[in-house]
Amino acid sequence: MRGLAVATALAVAVTGASPMAPTPARAQDATSGMPIIRDTEIEQLLRDYAQPILKAAGLAKQNVKVVVLNDRSFNAFVMDGRHIFINSGALFDAKTPNEVIGVFAHETGHLAGGHLLKLREQLATAQTASVVALLLGVGAAVAGARSGSGNVGAAAIMAPQAAIQRTLLAYVRTQEDQADHAGAKFLHGTGQSGRGMLELFKRLSSDSLFNSRYVDPYLQSHPMPAERVAALDTLVKSSAYFDVKDPAELQARHDLMRAKLSGFLERPDTVARRYPLGDHSLAARYARAISAYRHTDLRQAVGQIDGLIQSQPANPYFYELKGQALLEGGRAAEAIAPLRQAVHLSQSTPLIQIMLAQALIGTNNPKLAEEAVALLRAALLREPEAPQAYSQLAMAYGRKGDLAQADLASAQAAFSRGDMMTARQLASRAKTRLPVGSPAWVRADDIVNLKPNNNARN
């Protein structure tokens, strides 16, 4: 079963690396206990990459979301019909938007082809076949034991299992080839080049070329690198859009995304080597400013961020960065102005609203608590599963002296984290403070009476 579980994960991945679960790192925010990177700037860019492809595949109305995982390896995969997962390593290593778009095109090929459902059906068949093969193998083993030939019985058990594994992997390789072809079709349908997909797979092929000389091609979940590149080369070069390049504005946003990931996730010496002082590009200045506020001198960092704002005064994410740096530096009151500007320029995106509310609460000024509550409630309408927002809401209600609503918000925060024991305790206390039958009382009652989830901590 371990082998089947690995095959399931690999079947829908762009490379042969299985998804891991590293320690969360924070770009703007990391979901508690999960290796997920949340950042408005990065998420918006990836939505802009993915939406034309999803539309070409007929999936625009399925609300497919892109999720960034804090993993330095190069990988992307789908595990349901609603999410495309991509590692931060893939974003680090992709030099152009077109390379990431090619990854999304491939993963969308899996979604559009219904590969997840079909694979589950194959796995169910394989499990049935495994039971039959095991029974036949046991029978042979018993016969071998009676005849004194125990090794023959063991071979009889192993051989069918190996055959089933090869059959499954052959099926998975077929899906990968189909996803490549579908991805190329979606790229062509959106007037985009398949060059990025081709160059990406060429790089991956070069990285794995040495190892691939010593592996059994029939025991791989993906087509052999040389075969895959050759097939893609013919496929994407036949498109009239092969020589189309990414718009300069999109490339600039891509460079800023990579710089942001570097500044937040890499060590200062690594950032300095990647973006030396002699590099005066906006992306390099962005990475160095982030690294400076996180690791060295806040005052120096704020000066660098002000330089970024001067270069692009309409960029909401530079104001967000300044507000975050000041907030995390213990200067909540000073963080409010740049965060207000970031909320305005970003058209009130939820994650930035949550940060502004955190700054308002951080001033310990009860007069600002009402504004924080309004911001958090607005953010939660669009981000209903944000534990940090509920925790901040509880603090805001506490500043106002509304203990009933503070208990309810704390219960919702615990519920979002999966801590059902704490959620029920806080919700029970909230019920004693809320008018019976009120909407807030009903929400608290729902939490109290919710049956424990097997995955919840209780």
Tens-digit pLDDT profile for residues 105-116 = 988 988 887 766
Which tokens sit at 362?
A: 């951080």
- Specify the 3-state DSSP secondary structure of 68: strand
| HSE-CB of 263 using CA atoms within 13 angstroms | 27
* Calpha distance 454→446 (Å, rounded): 18
Q: Which residues pair with 77 in a beta bridge?
A: 13, 85
* Calpha distance 34→21 (Å, rounded): 8
Helix (H) or strand (E) holding 358: helix 350-362
Which regions of 185-233 does DSSP assign to beta strands (E)? Answer: none
Comparing 56-60, 158-162, 305-309, 347-351, which segment has the lowest mean pLDDT? Answer: 158-162
For the beta carbon of residue 228, count every other beta carbon within 10 angstroms.
20
Which pLDDT band holds residue 456 (cuts at 50, 70, 90)? Answer: very low
Q: Does 119 score more than 60 pLDDT?
A: no
pTM of the model: 0.78
**Helix, strand, coil percentages for the chain (3-state, nearest 5):** 70, 5, 25
Q: Does 203 score more than 90 pLDDT?
A: no
Comparing 86-95, 161-170, 377-386, which segment has the lowest mean pLDDT? Answer: 161-170
Comparing 188-192, 238-242, 245-249, 450-454, which segment has the lowest mean pLDDT? Answer: 450-454
Q: Which residues pair with 13 in a beta bridge?
A: 77
Which pLDDT band holds residue 82 (cuts at 50, 70, 90)? Answer: confident
Using alpha carbons only, give the angle 15, 19, 22 rounded to the nearest 5 degrees: 130
Tens-digit pLDDT profile for residues 338-355 = 999 999 999 999 999 999
**Mean pLDDT value across the chain:** 80
Using alpha carbons only, give the angle 424, 422, 354 rounded to the nearest 5 degrees: 100
